[in-house]
Amino acid sequence: MTAAQADLAGPTKNNSESTEEPALDTPRVEDGAAIWRIARDSKTLDLNSSYSYLLWCRDFAATSIVARGAGGEPVGFVTGYIRPDRPDTLMIWQVAVDASQRGRGLAGKLLDGLDAKVRAAHGVSRLETTITPDNTASDRLFRSFARRHGAGVDREVLFPGEVFPEGGEHEPELLYTIGPLTD
């Protein structure tokens, strides 16, 4: 469930507005509204309530990351959590980049930054995410991450489309397991 399509598609007109590299940082509660807007504007993520993004920034800040623009505002994010039943596994929930920053490889930089942060603090050796079959950009993003980190990628159906409340209209969510991470 990532919004990598536009990030990998190429630069947008707004990219020329700022050449400064966004700074990677830990999300704060006050970032929740901006993160919600980035998710909404991605048009590819399953949008959660604004309340859930506020809670995420409070309760899962240690396993999430934001990219901040020149003014300190979030321009991209990755949310994740350590799986309770697999403490060596970081589950990536959502990845999104603001339209003004797409085409710069920011999604990959966010993933790499979060991986380094969480591995140092928690010793994880695997990363998981779910991707729908039509999301080729997210597939490329996570396969590229695996290559950079010397890891294999296993895929299996985690949630068939029929289990979603949309009555089979939702594509299946494929679980990508990346690991073991070596560098």
Domain annotation for the chain: domains and CATH numbers: 5-179 (3.40.630.30)
Helical residues (DSSP H) of 47-135, grouped into ranges:
50-59, 106-122
Distances (CA, A) of 135 to 4, 5, 97, 158: 8, 7, 15, 15
Q: What pLDDT does residue 7 have?
A: 45
Q: What pLDDT does residue 5 have?
A: 44
Q: What pLDDT does residue 19 have?
A: 66
Helical residues (DSSP H) of 104-170, grouped into ranges:
106-122, 136-148
pLDDT digits (tens, 9 = 90+) for 3-33: 444 444 443 334 445 568 999 999 999 999 9
Residues of the chain with pLDDT under 50: 1, 3-16
Q: What pLDDT does residue 10 have?
A: 40
pTM of the model: 0.88
Helix (H) or strand (E) holding 90: strand 86-97
